[in-house]
Amino acid sequence: MKPEQSLIFELSRPGRAAYSLPECDVPAEEGLDTLIPAELLRSEPAVLPEVSEVDVIRHYTALSRRNFGVDNGFYPLGSCTMKYNPKINEDVARFPGFAKIHPYQPEESIQGALELMHTLQSDLAALTGMDAVSLQPAAGAHGEWTGLMMIRAYHEARGEVRTKVIVPDSSHGTNPASASAAGLTTVTIPSNEQGMVDLEALKQAVGSDTAALMLTNPSTLGLFETQIVEIARIVHEAGGLLYYDGANSNAIMGITRPGDMGFDVVHLNLHKTMSTPHGGGGPGAGPVGVKAKLAPFLPGPTVAKTEDGGFKLQAGGPQSIGRVKAYYGNFGILVRAYTYIRTYGPDGLREVSENAVLNANYMLSRLAPHFEVPYPGICKHEFVLSGKNLKPYGIRTLDVAKRLLDFGYHPPTVYFPLNVEECIMIEPTETESKETLDGFIDTMIRIVQESKETPEIVLNAPHTTEISRLDETQAARKPVLNCSCG
């Protein structure tokens, strides 16, 4: 093992340290044991690696190199992909006037931050076709839950008992989970042959107990629901509302709006569509937008203009569902989204969407001859393939994903949506060059050929990574989560 690959405990030598501190000049008798109860104090020193400063730096740098991100290479994960994270947005989020303000500072001293939030509220309302926006929720799923709680409160305020949320079988896993967290139950309806909402199934499912239909359009299959106006009519006529999952809005910005399609509530994932590097669960921001009839239920605080042209925080609507987050949302992410929107402007945002759709269609048309395509035709910002055609060679989609690692690619999303067998879901995003797309496509085609000619190479992949193929069952049943040495 090369020294830089060693684990930090193996580098440990008694007495070696990465720091040197001056002699302690605080009298010992005023120390810890009088302030902290004895049972909370350690009796033995913690077992920590004893290493030099350079060892620590090399250890963490080596770990960071084992990580993969959009700054290392192509990351075509469908649906939840890392999209464009311009570095300028990181700079702006770190401006001291934004990064160093305190949530309890007087409003007069944070007018710039409040103006930014106010502008972002109206930009997001304009972009989604909604009447009011709350920037509070801290993630997409949090936005979903907030939206559903407002829908619940809306029906309750009208004296109606409505507890069912209808979701299509291609829906993102957070949709039914959020419904359940909001105290509602989900009813799943199947997609039709074309991957669209089955109107007959929808008509069967709606009724006087329907609280809402949750949908994303384009769907997670990358398809635009052409019958959306009819879908909205069916749900509204039954007294239900329409929830739009806008986690990935790259296909529609500046082209169409959930509000115009008939949706009543929408959340956006600022950390997907509008920059902010995210991974491992955060950080995020999932603002919700609502039509006027739901505005009274919005969580506070929101930002309003004062009579003298300044900005102030105000409580939520008169029938607010209450606070959903401490303070004012994940402010740093709001700054990045604001910068993203201002940098592009309306025409630029439309161009983002056009190029996202163009890139996806280019990839789909070149990959189509080599995989099964469950829903042929034009896709939006992403598309799904099926690896079913490789089954006769003993190769599954999982093997293709593992083999891609050998070529330095992050694999696409696999086995989601659940309604496509051996599913491979690809979202290239708008920022990738034709050369990058071609490189990935050629690699996928090469893996298809290998699957037919030398399947063992694919079955045993990855070969070039730090750790080769894991035993999936053991990894799930008996995970080793800590360093077993020392």
Residues that bind ligand PLP (CB under 6 A): 79-80, 139-141, 172, 174, 216, 220, 245, 247-248, 269, 284, 286
Nearer to ligand PLP, 140 or 300 (CB): 140
Distance (Å, rounded) from C-alpha 175 to C-alpha 159?
Answer: 25
Nearer to ligand PLP, 97 or 280 (CB): 280
Yes or no: say if 381 and 360 are a contact pair by the CB < 8 Å rule: yes
Distance (Å, rounded) from C-alpha 312 to C-alpha 300?
Answer: 12
First to last CA, the chain: 17
Q: How far is the CB of 281 from ligand PLP (least distance, A)?
A: 8
If we measure between CA atoms, which residue out of 7, 32, 83 comes closest to residue 360?
Answer: 83
Sequential DSSP letters for 431-480: T--HHHHHHHHHHHHHHHHHHHH-HHHHHT---SSSS----HHHHHHS--
Q: How far is the CB of 333 from ligand PLP (least distance, A)?
A: 11
If we measure between CA atoms, which residue out of 111, 123, 76 comes closest to residue 401?
Answer: 76
Residue 234 to residues 183, 241, 444, Cα–Cα distance (Å): 24, 10, 42
E runs forming strands in 111-163: 132-134
Q: How far is the CB of 242 from ligand PLP (least distance, A)?
A: 15
Residue 431 to residues 86, 252, 364, 441, Cα–Cα distance (Å): 11, 16, 17, 16
Q: How far is the CB of 38 from ligand PLP (least distance, A)?
A: 43
Q: How far is the CB of 174 from ligand PLP (least distance, A)?
A: 4
Distance (Å, rounded) from C-alpha 34 to C-alpha 43?
Answer: 15
Q: How far is the CB of 254 from ligand PLP (least distance, A)?
A: 20
Nearer to ligand PLP, 247 or 400 (CB): 247
Return phi, psi of residue 308, to 5°. Answer: -90, 20
Q: How far is the CB of 245 from ligand PLP (least distance, A)?
A: 5
Q: How far is the CB of 275 from ligand PLP (least distance, A)?
A: 14
Nearer to ligand PLP, 174 or 429 (CB): 174
Q: How far is the CB of 71 from ligand PLP (least distance, A)?
A: 20
Nearer to ligand PLP, 247 or 401 (CB): 247
Q: How far is the CB of 425 from ligand PLP (least distance, A)?
A: 10
If we measure between CA atoms, which residue out of 165, 193, 194, 200 comes closest to residue 179?
Answer: 165
Yes or no: say if 383 and 374 are a contact pair by the CB < 8 Å rule: no
Planar angle of CA 410, 416, 422, nearest 5 degrees: 85
Q: How far is the CB of 278 from ligand PLP (least distance, A)?
A: 8
Nearer to ligand PLP, 79 or 359 (CB): 79
Yes or no: say if 155 and 265 are a contact pair by the CB < 8 Å rule: no
Nearer to ligand PLP, 210 or 216 (CB): 216
Nearer to ligand PLP, 257 or 271 (CB): 271
Nearer to ligand PLP, 277 or 455 (CB): 277
Distance (Å, rounded) from C-alpha 18 to C-alpha 382?
Answer: 48
Nearer to ligand PLP, 250 or 451 (CB): 250
- DSSP label at residue 22: P
Q: How far is the CB of 221 from ligand PLP (least distance, A)?
A: 11
Distance (Å, rounded) from C-alpha 424 to C-alpha 421?
Answer: 9
- Supply the angle between the helices 140-157 and 174-181 in degrees, to the nearest 10: 50
Nearer to ligand PLP, 80 or 82 (CB): 80
Classify the phi-psi angles of 403: left when phi > 0, otherwise alpha if psi is within -120 to 50, otherwise beta: alpha
Note every long-range contact of 200-205, with CB atoms under 8 Å and residues 24 or more positions apart, other chains counting.
202/166, 202/231, 202/234, 202/235, 203/234, 205/164, 205/166
Radius of gyration for the alpha carbons in the chain, expressed in angstroms and rounded = 26
Distance (Å, rounded) from C-alpha 181 to C-alpha 176?
Answer: 9
Nearer to ligand PLP, 145 or 311 (CB): 145
Q: Which amino acid is at 278?
A: H
Q: Tell me which residue has its CB nearest to ligand PLP.
A: 140
The length of the chain, given as a count of residues = 486
